Amino acid sequence: MKYLDEFRDPVIAKRILDEIHRITTQPWVIMEICGGQTHSIIRNGIDQVLPKEIELVHGPGCPVCVTPLELIDQAIEIASRPEVIFTSFGDMLRVPGSHKDLFMVRSEGGDVRTVFSPLESLKIARENPNKEVVFFAVGFETTAPGNAMAVAQAAKEGLKNFSELVSHVLVPPAMEALLSSAKNRVQGYLAAGHVCTVMGWDEYTPIAEKYKVPIVITGFEPMDVLDGILHTVKQLEAGTYQVENRYARIVEEGGNQPAQALIRDVYEVSDRKWRGIGEIPLSGFKIRAKYADHDAELKFNVGDIKADEPEICISGVILQGLKKPHDCQAFGKECTPQHPLGATMVSSEGACAAYYKYQRILND
Amino acid sequence: MCLAIPGKLLEVFEENGLKMGNIDFAGSVSKACLEYVPEIEVGQYTIVHAGFALSVLNEEEAKNSFDAWDDLIDRANKEGIEIDKLERPN
Amino acid sequence: MDFPEYLSCPVPILTHDTVQLAHGAGGKLSNEMIDKIFLPRFSNTTLEKMEDQAVLENPGGRIAFSTDTFVVDPIFFPGGNIGDLAINGTVNDVAMSGAQPKFLSVAFILEEGLPFETLHRIVLSMEQAAKTAGIQIVAGDTKVVNRGSCDKLFINTTGFGFVPEDVNISASNLQLGDKIILSGTLADHGMAVMTSREGLSFQSTVRSDTAGLNHLVADMLAVSKNIHAMRDPTRGGLATSLNEFAMASSKGIQLYDDKIPVRDDVRGACEILGIDPLYVANEGKLIAVVPADVADSMVSAMRANPLGKDAVIIGEVTDKHPGLVTLATGLGANRIVDMPVGEQLPRIC
Ligand code: SF4
């Protein structure tokens, strides 16, 4: 596939890798923020072939894993209502709430459907005027333009039966939250390429300067990821801390302006809880009052459903690279990929899930 | 997060008042909303996430990346390093 | 959607256009449906006797016996439909023992209101699949349920065949140094079904690979009867079948990423939806584990058959990491290919 396969060329990838080996002189801790990059790292085994000095810490960059328990519980409450068609990206259906997941709601008779795009959800609303169609709008900045468009379009078409349960989170506040922690170990960041596609990168410059960390905007194919690591290490070795764009074929400095405009029109920045991290001020979006008709939280009055994460789970410190999964008492016992308790076990790329798989090799 | 891959715009049309396009991913053609890439032309590549085109691929910049990597390869060749034989500790 | 020539047979004229509850009640209407829809397509001397059971000759030896029930949404998908899927699925399950499938039973559960035109089209493609595989349908049953009690139609097929002497194929038979052969490209069926599902707004050249593999198996056995393990990687895909082999044999399996064939359009669909082809269903592919010394000639023989034209060795059996499947990546790393947790869903991250 054009513009995909070229970036998977093993010969060039190995050459970049070799360059990383050549320039690395001391230990560095680098965090890739984005779950998509974690996926690429694990799928291609990049972590296994890097110099042993380089430690990759998998960041919180997966909207599925960071969606807080109480939002899943709210989704389950809404999806269980007979008048509702609940639509969601496939990722969210398996994420456990306090007592069940959306799959179980479906098996109990709830109308829960997977969609690939929020516009599909809008189409379902058009075709089912007597039903309440709710879309589970999770995601980072990358997904926000689409989810905002669905709300704006519903308002324009007067589709009163369409609403969104919003759990949108923002990357830069989370980066800052991690960096400002007294125990922070992260020295360099691979920034999420597709988030920057939408938002650009001016938000990163003050962060890089304040915390003196290099931030390299990185793509997702093996060569992109290796290239991002190479340029992060280069900066670390040289003692510089700039924002560098290594995904220039896709990312422009200002990001996508029309997308940002519609996001601002539909959503406003709000405090958000992150599963595993806790509440981060101004780290997400909620629907603006002028679109309140399309806000499922208000429409179904589920805002007061609260839930706390299992106390035993230490995924928050794991996310920060401070502890390893087998430091957790529940690891492999109460908590497995089939029955995950915390964020880092929910996603197959999460640190706990990855260790769970890997541990089996170590035991042999 | 944010799975998005490049595909080629085949045609543009309108649906429910939105600018839409059919995008080819090596034979699998998927519909995507083009409202956020008003400048796009048929034949260009775009990154699509959850049914929305978010950026037109900059072919010039893609070439720049390759030029930089080619330099790495050239240097390896000059130094007589055989890339496929590189031994690396696991 | 275009249909092959043989599917253009005119629909037989029945008293009703759609299936009624009475069609399953065993009376006049039942007989009319059997006479007009099923018998003309599935007919053979055993079936025509219309007894309560099929009485068959027994040539002696071991019998391979398998049953499977088919529920698929949508019932028509690019490259096939629930009908040929139901025939080929059981043919393949029997054939994976090395047996040539001989006889099949077919049971339908029909939803009231199903158009006869639809049923007829499905039955025609079942006839074709049975002919291609060279099997006879010797027993059958039909039930009609209330609207809403099933989704259009479900089909159960049960089949058996006779296992040749000296053939002992089992998931627990893997030997150190054995080669893993894959008969062709991965993930065609699963992606054809997924991309034709409503809600994904796809147009795709991806087609299901549904096919009966029994002749391919015969070609392979002609090279050597010494096939250690064989399976058609349907639900759960290649990853699931190989994990089952590794666990049953307490051996490790090492795969090579760059050897595993996936069609471009299938890969395109997988990439957009975030799905790993290793976990996607196939309906016309097999994996065979064979001793290294016969692997190359086996692959050549398979390539001579259109259903095995892309056959290739994708890995081998090792004594490292028993019970696990690993995949060597282009970078020289090795990652674990785990059992899937639940069904494959389109993802955004
Ligand atoms: S193993 Fe489970 S409970 Fe323990 S930290 Fe990881 S996700 Fe939380």
Examine the domain organization and report whether A288 and A330 are in the same domain: no
Answer whether CATH 3.40.50.12160 is correct for domain C171-336: no
Cα angle B14, B17, B19 (rounded to 5 degrees) comes to 45
Structure tokens at C170: 């089992």
Q: Is the CB of residue A313 below 6 angstroms from any atom belonging to ligand 1? A: yes
User: Is A350's Cβ below 8 Å from some Cβ in C?
Assistant: no
Question: Is A36's pLDDT higher than 90?
Answer: no
Residue A311 Cα, ligand 1 centroid: separation in angstroms? 10
Q: Report the pLDDT value the prediction gives residue A340, as an integer from 0 to 100.
A: 85
Name all chains with 3 or more CB-CB pairs below 8 Å to chain A.
B, C
Topology of the domain covering B5-78: SH3 type barrels. (2.30.30)
Sheet holding A267-274, edge to edge: A111-114, A84-88, A132-139, A162-169, A278-287, A267-274
Report the 3 state secondary structure along chain B.
CCCCEEEEEEEEEEECCEEEEEEEECCEEEEEECCCCCCCCCCCEEEEECCEEEEECCHHHHHHHHHHHHHHHHHHHHCCCCHHHCCCCC
Question: For domain C5-163, is the CATH number 3.30.1360.200?
Answer: no
Looking at residue B88, its pLDDT comes to 42
Instruction: Domain ranges for chain C, please list them.
Output: 5-163, 171-336
Query: Which among C191, C200, C326 has a CA at the least distance from the CA of C268?
Result: C191
Confidence class for position A364, pLDDT limits 50, 70, 90? very low
Nearest CA to ligand 1 atom 8: A313
Q: Does B84 touch chain A (CB under 8 A)?
A: yes
Q: Is A158 a residue whose pLDDT tops 60?
A: yes
pLDDT in tens, A259-318: 999 999 999 999 999 887 889 999 999 999 999 999 999 999 999 999 888 889 998 888
Q: What is the pLDDT of residue A167?
A: 92
Average pLDDT in the B64-78 region?
89
Q: Express each pLDDT in A178-217 by its tens digit.
A: 899 888 999 999 999 999 999 999 999 999 999 999 999 9
**Residue C60 clears pLDDT 60, i.e. is over it:** yes
Determine, for residues B25 and C269 on separate chains, whether the beta-carbon distance falls below 8 Å. yes
Contact C206 B49 (CB under 8 A): no
**What's the rounded Cα separation, in Å, for the pair A138 and A86?**
13
Q: Which residues of B touch A16 (CB under 8 A)?
A: 69, 72
Does C195 lie at the interface with B, CB-CB under 8 angstroms? Answer: yes
- Whether residue C4 is predicted with pLDDT greater than 60 in this model: the reply is no
Are A320 and A287 part of one and the same domain?
no
Q: What is the pTM of this model?
A: 0.91
C57, pLDDT greater than 90:
no
CATH of the domain at A123: 3.40.50.11740
Do A273 and A353 fall within a single domain?
no
For chain A, what's the residue count? 364
Q: Name the residue among B2, B17, B69 with its Cβ closest to that of A12.
A: B69
Q: Is C200 on the interface with A (CB under 8 A)?
A: yes
Interface test mutation site (partner B, options A4, A9, A14, A15, max chain B beta carbons within 10 A)? A15
Answer yes or no: do A49 and A78 share one domain: yes
Q: Give, as one character, the DSSP assignment of residue C86.
A: H
Percent of chain C that is helix, strand, coil (3-state, to 5): 35, 25, 40
Total domains in the fold of chain A: 2
Which of the residue ranges A246-255, A347-356, C41-50 has the most confident prediction, judged by mean pLDDT? Answer: A246-255
Contact flag B26-C332 (C-beta cutoff 8 Å): no
Residue A129 is part of which domain span?
A: 1-309
Q: Where along chain B do its domains lie? A: 5-78
Digit-coded pLDDT (tens) for C208-227? 999 999 999 999 999 999 99
Chains A–C, number of C-beta pairs less than 8 Å apart: 95
A193 and A234 co-located in one domain: yes
pLDDT (mean) for A334-348? 83
Looking at the partner chain, which of C320, C321, C347 has a beta carbon nearest the beta carbon of A90? Answer: C347
Confidence band for B3, pLDDT divided at 50, 70 and 90: confident
- Give the integer Cα–Cα distance in Å for B58 and C77: 37
Report the pLDDT value the prediction gives residue A64, as an integer from 0 to 100: 80
Contact C79, C196 (CB under 8 A): no
pLDDT band at A355 (very low <50, low <70, confident <90, very high): confident
In a shared domain, residues A139 and A93? yes
Give the distance, in angstroms, between the CA of residue C166 and the centroid of all CA atoms in the same chain. Answer: 25
Predicted pLDDT of residue A216: 98
Query: Is the pLDDT at B89 greater than 60, yes or no?
Result: no
| Atom 6 of ligand 1, nearest CA residue | A352
Q: Are C175 and C291 in contact (CB under 8 A)?
A: yes
> Kindly report the CA angle at A29 between A23 and A34, in degrees rounded to 5?
105
**Per-residue pLDDT band at B83 (split at 50, 70, 90):** low
Cα–Cα dist C123/C125, whole Å: 5
The greatest distance separating any two alpha carbons of chain C, rounded to the nearest whole angstrom, comes to: 68
One-character DSSP codes across A283-304: EEEEE-GGGGGGBHHHHTT-TT
The arithmetic mean of pLDDT across residues B34-60, rounded, is 96
- Best residue for ligand 1 mutational test, from A64, A308, A318, A326 (most atoms within 8 Å of Cβ): A318
pLDDT value for C236 = 94
| Token pair for B86 | 């590189």
Question: A111: part of which helix (H) or strand (E)?
Answer: strand A111-114
The tokens of C315 are what?
A: 């890995």
| Radius of gyration of the CA atoms of chain B, in A | 19
Q: Report the complex ipTM.
A: 0.91
Distance in Å, CA A352 to ligand 1 centroid:
6
Contact B37, A146 (CB under 8 A): no
Q: What average pLDDT does this structure show over C323-342? A: 89
Nearest residue of C to residue A92, measured between CA atoms: C347
What is the pLDDT averaged over residues C58-81? 93
Using a CB-CB cut-off of 8 Å, the residues of chain B touching C202 are 28-31
User: How much of chain C, in percent, has pLDDT values that exceed 90?
Assistant: 76
What distance in Å separates the CA atoms of residue C173 and residue C290, rounded to the nearest whole number?
10
